[in-house]
């Protein structure tokens, strides 16, 4: 099919955002920004290291591609307003797959960030399916919440799930491979808990709206947990010049997986004492910088997290 027909198939499934003054079809989109500032982020998902077509449907991939970018906007305390999507698509990929990908983008925006929509992008051909997304957001007059503002005495808190996506990845690698080759998921072979975990990996649902809630409540620092609590908490501690002490009893039933597992895209934030919003749960405290930037139960944390330059198999454990 020619490019124009493929683009029309995608755009017919992604209605324009109400604040898009100019949407898809011109050289660039024009987005109204009442606050006068724009939050912008970008993320790329590549077949192989980031997803496997044997496991992810087009709908799953569209949903996840939207969700991971929406979470980055939310982590700044902003409301997502628009997505720009660049697709590099193999010639042999069916148009129906791309249409379902567009459906995933549309439904993820509607469910996680109402009012946000795809407003444009690019389409090219490639041997490797690649989805690159730029997300924009509006701070609505609030100051951005960065990862560098945590202060000694602050409560460390999280909103969203920890370790569920990592468990789902472990199920996929453990149950749905023929040697090193991924095979399609058989839903009937999954127990209820496994099905939820696999869905958390393939179609995450981060608490996007809680980013603005945290900013309004007085969060001093915030970021989304994309690569695992341990590595991302270390990043926050380093950026803020502090140490973070976690309590394993507050991390759920599987603290090790909560620490090491990524891709849930929960929000990690710090708050002054007494300002913790109801949707966030405390998991530790911020301390003055010490010999270790991250402790759990007063012990150094050796676990790392997702690193794109390691073999993907190592993240499935």
User: Tens of pLDDT along 21-41?
Assistant: 877 776 667 778 777 888 999
Contacts of 179 (CB under 8 A, 6+ apart): none
How far apart are the C-alpha atoms of 317 and 266, rounded to whole Å? 20
| Strands 79-89, 117-125: pairing kind | parallel
- Entry pTM: 0.89
- Contact between 173 and 313 under an 8 Å Cβ cutoff? The reply is yes
pLDDT computed for residue 305 by the predictor: 61
**pLDDT higher than 50, residue 316:** no
Contacts of 187 (CB under 8 A, 6+ apart): 195
Q: Which helix (H) or strand (E) holds 81?
A: strand 79-89
Q: Which helix (H) or strand (E) holds 155?
A: strand 155-159
**317 confidence band (pLDDT: 50, 70, 90):** very low
**6 confidence band (pLDDT: 50, 70, 90):** confident
In the 8-state DSSP scheme, what is residue 27?
S
Torsion of CA 137, 138, 139, 144, to 10 degrees: 30
Spatial CA neighbour of 59 closest among 95, 105, 93, 109 = 105
Average pLDDT over residues 258-287: 96
pLDDT computed for residue 261 by the predictor: 87
């Amino acid at each position: 099919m020619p490019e124009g027909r493929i683009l029309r198939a995608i755009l017919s499934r992604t209605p324009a955002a109400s604040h898009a003054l100019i949407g898809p079809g011109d050289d660039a989109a024009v987005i109204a920004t009442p606050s006068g500032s724009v939050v912008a982020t970008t993320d790329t998902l590549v077949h192989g290291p980031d997803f496997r077509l044997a496991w992810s449907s087009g709908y799953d991939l569209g949903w996840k591609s939207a969700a991971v970018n929406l979470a980055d906007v939310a982590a700044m305390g902003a409301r997502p307003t628009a997505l720009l999507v660049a697709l590099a698509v193999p010639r042999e990929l069916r148009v129906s797959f791309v249409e379902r990908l567009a459906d995933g983008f549309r439904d993820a925006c509607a469910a996680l960030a109402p009012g946000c929509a795809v407003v444009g992008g690019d389409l090219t051909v490639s041997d490797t399916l690649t989805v690159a997304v730029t997300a924009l957001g509006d701070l609505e007059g609030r100051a951005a919440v960065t990862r560098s503002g945590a202060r000694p005495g602050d409560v460390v808190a999280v909103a969203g799930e920890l370790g569920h996506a990592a468990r789902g990845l472990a199920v996929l690698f453990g149950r749905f491979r023929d040697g090193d080759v991924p095979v399609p998921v058989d839903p009937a072979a999954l127990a209820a808990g496994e099905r939820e975990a696999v869905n958390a990996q393939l179609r995450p649902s981060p608490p996007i709206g809680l980013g603005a809630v945290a900013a309004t409540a007085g969060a001093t620092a915030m970021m989304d947990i994309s690569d695992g609590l341990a590595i991302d908490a270390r990043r926050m501690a380093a950026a803020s010049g502090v140490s973070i002490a976690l309590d394993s009893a507050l991390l759920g039933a599987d603290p090790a997986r909560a620490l090491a597992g990524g891709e849930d895209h929960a929000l990690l934030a710090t708050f002054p004492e007494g300002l913790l919003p109801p949707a966030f749960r405390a998991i530790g405290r911020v301390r003055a910088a010490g010999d270790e930037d991250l402790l759990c139960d007063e012990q150094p944390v050796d676990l790392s997290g997702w690193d794109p330059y390691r073999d993907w198999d190592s993240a499935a454990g």
